[in-house]
Amino acid sequence: MVAREEESSVLVNEGVVAQVMLNRPQALNAINADMLQSIIFAFERLQRDPGVRVITLWGAGKEAFIAGMDIPAVADLGPRPMAEYVELGQRAMRVIETCRVPVVAAVNGFAFGPGLEVALACDLIVAGQTARFGLPEAELGVVPAFGGLQRLLQRCGVGAVRRLAFTSDLIDVQEALRLGLVDIVAAEGELNQVVNALADKISKQAPLALTQVKNVLRRAEEQVLLAGLRREVESYLKLYESADRQEGMHAFMHKRPPDFKGR
């Protein structure tokens, strides 16, 4: 079955190798609540299908996997709606992370903020030559809230987390490969072929064995991960009420440098 509603923020192709397409190319696939809800629905549905053996996750268009958070949609939310939004984002990442089958992120273009967090929730990351990665939340006066600090720490170590989170640096695909953030880099114009070949190879392995591999690996670090995820939520919500957060997000929307006061 193929979902093709024009207004849908997530499209799904089902099959042995299922495909989930994040579908807001006009907004560079920026994350909003509708997309998060749709991600949860798509992954919960696919993992109930016994015919699905691997899922590939894509961003529509050529410019971005996910360019970041939909800032205008959240900049003026009150504390309670913002808390609900952050909890929804964390739930969406956990649905990806705990999916019974392997999930491969196919990163084309920008994967910033929540975009990198979505990729980190996947089991493997394959990137094209134009891929760029970063956690620029400090420029907005906040911290990553969907598990980016925790999962980047597990994948790349504390040095990489400090560099990306302290500086808001946006790194290219070769630097991401060096840090261990990316598993495979596809040659120019070959992202589709590389991702599909990898997914096909995974789909031919014993599915029960792959599920157990995922379970073992996840449980090895899950206690630390879950505690860290809660701290991210608490830190984000604390910062959300700060003057610096308001300044950072409104400066972003008005395309001007922020003037942070440390309060």
Q: What is the CATH number of the domain that holds 105?
A: 3.90.226.10
d(CA 184, CA 93): 21
Q: What's the pLDDT at 75?
A: 83
Q: Is 59 among the domain residues?
A: yes
d(CA 243, CA 241): 7
Q: What's the pLDDT at 2?
A: 36
Q: Is 7 a catalytic residue?
A: no
Q: Is 194 among the domain residues?
A: no
* CA proximity to 57, closest of 92, 5, 91, 90: 92
Burial class of 132 by CB neighbour count within 10 A (0 to 12, 13 to 18, 19+): buried
Q: Is 197 among the domain residues?
A: no
Q: How far apart are the first and last CA of the chain?
A: 51
Q: Is 213 among the domain residues?
A: yes
> Residue 173 half-sphere exposure, CB side, CA atoms within 13 Å?
19
Q: What's the pLDDT at 6?
A: 42
d(CA 172, CA 67): 14
Beta strands, E only, 17-85? 17-22, 54-59, 64-66
d(CA 131, CA 128): 5
Q: What's the pLDDT at 7?
A: 56
Sheet of 17-22: strand order equals: 10-13, 17-22, 54-59, 103-107, 124-127, 184-185
Q: What's the pLDDT at 224?
A: 80
Q: Is 117 a catalytic residue?
A: yes
Q: Is 83 among the domain residues?
A: yes
d(CA 165, CA 158): 10
What distances in angstroms separate CA 242 from CA 15, 82, 173, one per listed residue? 46, 13, 34
Catalytic residue among 97, 117, 139, 232: 117
Q: Is 9 among the domain residues?
A: yes
pTM higher than 0.85 for the full model?
A: yes
Q: Is 219 among the domain residues?
A: yes
Q: Is 46 among the domain residues?
A: yes
What stretches in the chain show pLDDT beneath 50?
A: 1-6
Domain with 44 in it: 1-188+207-263
- Domain total in the chain: 1
Q: Which helix H or strand E contains 136, and what residues bound it?
A: none
* Other C-beta atoms lying within 10 Å of the C-beta of residue 181: 24
